């Protein structure tokens, strides 16, 4: 089961690790900074169509974003 609060924490940690602000991530994804903020606070989840681009920008797998599981 996907927990929005944990997904948000993984997005925030990965974004910070890449040295991006919420505004920079939002700009690269074509969404508002408010959307990124809601994702990171667990108030909303990114739409399915954004997962591939989000994982690429953050240099993490979609599986890790959604579940926290690392690939072996």
For residues 10 and 14, give the distance between their C-alpha atoms in angstroms, rounded to a whole number.
Answer: 6
Q: 6-42: string of b/e by CB count within 10 Å (b at 16+)? A: ebbebbbebbeeeebebeebbeeeebeeebbbbbbeb
Q: What is the pLDDT of residues 2-54, one digit of tens each?
A: 899 999 999 999 999 999 999 999 999 999 999 999 999 999 999 999 999 99
What is the reported pLDDT for 64?
95
Phi, psi of 49 (to 5 degrees): -65, -15
User: Which conformational region is residue 59 in: left (phi greater than 0), alpha (psi within -120 to 50 degrees), or beta?
Assistant: left
| pTM for the predicted model, two decimal places | 0.92
* pLDDT exceeds cutoff 70 at 72: no
């Amino acid at each position: 089961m996907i927990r929005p609060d944990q997904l948000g924490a993984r997005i925030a940690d990965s974004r910070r690790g890449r040295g991006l602000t919420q505004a920079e991530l939002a700009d690269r994804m074509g969404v508002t900074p408010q959307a990124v903020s809601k994702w990171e606070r667990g108030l909303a989840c990114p739409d399915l169509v954004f997962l591939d681009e989000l994982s690429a920008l953050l240099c993490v797998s979609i599986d890790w974003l959604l579940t926290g599981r690392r690939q072996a």
